A and B are shown apart, each in its own frame.
Chain A
C-alpha cells in the first residue's frame, strides 16, 4: 500500500512537470547535440562521491562550411572533423540525488579550442527502499551555449529515465523533453528527444549493445524524417572496476539533419570521499 501511495506521488510529480512544460510550450529544437552522447541509467552517484567524466566525440562526417564562409548553412560552426571535449563533474548529494555540471568545448582546424557552454543538471531517483521493479529517475538540465555552436543559447531539458537490468540484458529509455528560452527555436515549444539503449553482458567486464539518439522536433508536430535527428551507436562498455566507467561507440546518422558518422568515447573516474575502515569491512557485503 505504501508502495502504491509513493508510486502515485511520484507519478503525480512527473505529470506535474510535464504539464508545466506543456504550459510553457512555444517551440524548440535543441539538444546537447554531439557534446554528451550518453543514455542515462537511473542510478545516481553515491553521497560523498564525485564522478569525473570526459566525453570525447569526433565527427568524421558532419556539417561543412559554406563556400567562402567559416559557418555552415545553419549559421553555426561546422561539425565536420570537429573534436568535442566535454567535462562532466557529478557530485552525489544523498542516496537518491546528485548534481552534475558540464563544460562543453570544441576543437577544430582553423577555430582552435573553444569554450561552447555550461550546463547544470540536478537529478533525483526513486530510492531503493521503494522497491520499484524498474529503476526510475528524473533529470533536469539548464544551461547556456554560444550562438556560434547552437541555434539556441539558453535551454532547459527534463529527462525521465527508466532502466532495468535482467540477468545479462540491460534496457534504458530516456524520453527527454527540451525547451529553448532564447534562440531561433524559442517559439517552437517543447521538443521530443528520446534516447534508448539495449546491451548485453558478454562477460563481467565487457558489455555491448546499441544506443539510439533522436530529436523528433516539436511535440506540436514532429518534423519530417528528413529534418529529424536520428543516430544509432553500436557501443561497448568496459566494466574494469567499480571506480571506472568506460564507453566507446561509433554512431551513424541516416537522416539529412544528422551528423553522418561520429566516434565517441567516455572515460569516467569515481572518487569516493567516504572514510573507509581498513581491514576489509567494506569488502564484505
Chain B
C-alpha cells in the first residue's frame, strides 16, 4: 500500500467524520475563510498556468494573528478531489494540524471543514495543501495552494520600517531527468508571489529604510537561492524562529518549506532585482523589482559573491546544554525504480506507510540522529514541534530552532525536540516527490 492507497482508504472514513460535524457551520462566522478552487493564473502577459489556489489568488490570503488568540478558519473544497490544509510550524493538536496521516480529516469534494486552534509559537509560519500528488504533477504542492501565516509575538520589537512577504514557487512541473539519473520534477516557470520577474508591481522603498522580507519557499521540490542586487541581507530568523546569531549574507538559501526573515538596509538607491542567483531560474521568472523612491530605469542585477551556506553561521558553536533522554537513529535511503521514474524512499529500510512509528513519552527530550545515505539532499520536516539543530556532520551547534532542516546527501544531522505536544506527529521529507514515494514516518505519544 503506497501513500495514495493509504489516503484513499482513510479519506473515505475521514469524509464521513467531517460530515458528522455540521454543527461547526451553524456557529458564528469564522475568522477566515479559504475556498479551494481551480484558478487560471496569469504569471506574465501571455503566460498562464492552470492550477488550484485559495480564494482565487496566489499566495492565499495572509493570515496575521496574535499569538495565543484562538482562531477559526473555514475551508471549502471546490475541487474534484479530497483536500486538506496543513498549518505548517504551529504547535496545534493532531486533528487540526491538517495531515491525514495524523488523523486530521480530509475535506471531501464540495465539502467544508472548520479548523479551530490557538496559533503558537509566534513567527513566520505558513499553510499549504498536504495531499498526495505522485505522478500527477498538477496536484499537491505543485499547485498554488499555499499562503503565509504570521503569528504576531506578544512583544514585537518592530525594528523595521516596512514588511514584505515573499513566497517562492515553481510552476508547470513535468518529469525531467535529475542529476542522479532518476527522474525528478522540472518546471517551466518560477515566481516570487504570483508574477514573473518584470511583470509584477515593484516593491517601493525609500533610502535608509530597514525592510524586513519574510520569505517562504513554497516550491514542491526546488531549493532556491535569493540575492538582492547591490545589497546585503541579514538573516534574523529561520523557519520563523529568531536565530541566536543574526548574520549578514550575500545570498540566501531556502529549501522547500523553509522560511527566512531577512532585514535589508536600503542604502543603495536605484532599481534592483531581488531574484534567484541562478540565471536560468531567474530567466524562468523568479525575481521581483525593488524600486527606490524617485529612481527609474531598467532593474539591475549584480551577481553576488559565492556563498557557502552553513546553518552554523546563525547558531552558537557550543554543543546543546540539554542532553537528550533518547536517541532515535534514522537512516535515509533511496530505492531505484528505473531512470524513467521517481525513486522510492525509505527511513530505516521501510517506506511509508510500512515505516515503523516511534513511541514518544511526554516531557522527554529526543534526538533524531539522521544519516542520509542517498545522493539527494532532504529538507526534513517535523510536524507540530520545533526542534533544535544540535549537530551537522558531527560538528555541534546550538540555539538554532527550526521545523525544517536540510540533511545534505551523504551526511549526518542531529536535531533535538521536546515531546510536549501529545498526538500523532508526522515526520517527512518536504520534497513532494520524496514524501509521496515513501519518505515519511509517524511519531506516536505513548
Contact = CB atoms under 8 A, between A and B. Distances in A.
Contacts of A168: 337-341
Main secondary structure of the interface of A (DSSP, over half): loop
Interface string A248-285: 00000000000000000000000000000111111111
Nearest to B183: A165
Interface in B44-95: none
Nearest to A243: B179
B194 interface: no
Contacts of A164: 340
Interface in A114-144: 128-129, 131
B179 A201 contact: no
B338 A131 contact: no
A43 B339 contact: no
A207 B181 CA distance: 12
A277 B277 contact: yes
B364 interface: no
A128 B174 contact: yes
Given A277-B277, A285-B223, A165 B185 contact: no
B255 A201 contact: no
B406 A284 contact: yes
Interface in A59-98: none
B225 interface: yes
B253 interface: yes
| Size bin of chain B's contact surface | 35 or more
A46 to B, nearest CB: 10
A201 B339 contact: yes
A279 B181 contact: no
Interface in B175-201: 176-186, 188
B156 interface: no
Contact of B307 (A203, A242, A277): A277
Contacts of B409: 283
Interface in B294-323: 306-310
B431 interface: yes
Contacts of A169: 338, 340
A166 B341 CA distance: 7
B269 interface: no
Given A283-B179, A284-B377, A131 B174 contact: yes
Interface residues of A, number: 26
A242 B308 CA distance: 23
B376 interface: yes
Nearest to B433: A285
A99 B252 CA distance: 37
A162 to B, nearest CB: 15
A279 B406 CA distance: 12
B135 to A, nearest CB: 11
B425 interface: no
B278 interface: yes
A203 B335 CA distance: 10
B310 to A, nearest CB: 8
Given A285-B222, A285-B376, A285-B431, A165 B307 contact: no
Given A128-B186, A278-B308, A204 B377 contact: no
Contact of A170 (B176, B340, B431): B340
Nearest to A131: B174
Contacts of B376: 283-285
Contacts of B172: 129
Given A128-B176, A242-B179, A242-B180, A281 B277 contact: yes
18 contacts: A128-B176, A128-B186, A164-B340, A165-B339, A168-B341, A170-B339, A203-B336, A207-B339, A277-B251, A278-B307, A278-B308, A279-B253, A279-B307, A280-B309, A283-B377, A283-B408, A284-B222, A285-B178
Given A165-B339, A280-B309, A283-B179, 4 more contacts: A43-B177, A201-B339, A277-B225, A285-B222
Interface of B: 172, 174, 176-186, 188, 221-223, 225, 251, 253, 255, 277-278, 306-310, 336-341, 376-377, 379, 406, 408-409, 431
Task: Please name the 10 residue pairs, one residue from A and one from B, whose CB atoms are nearest each other, closest first.
Answer: A165-B340, A168-B338, A284-B223, A167-B338, A204-B336, A279-B308, A279-B309, A284-B377, A285-B184, A167-B341
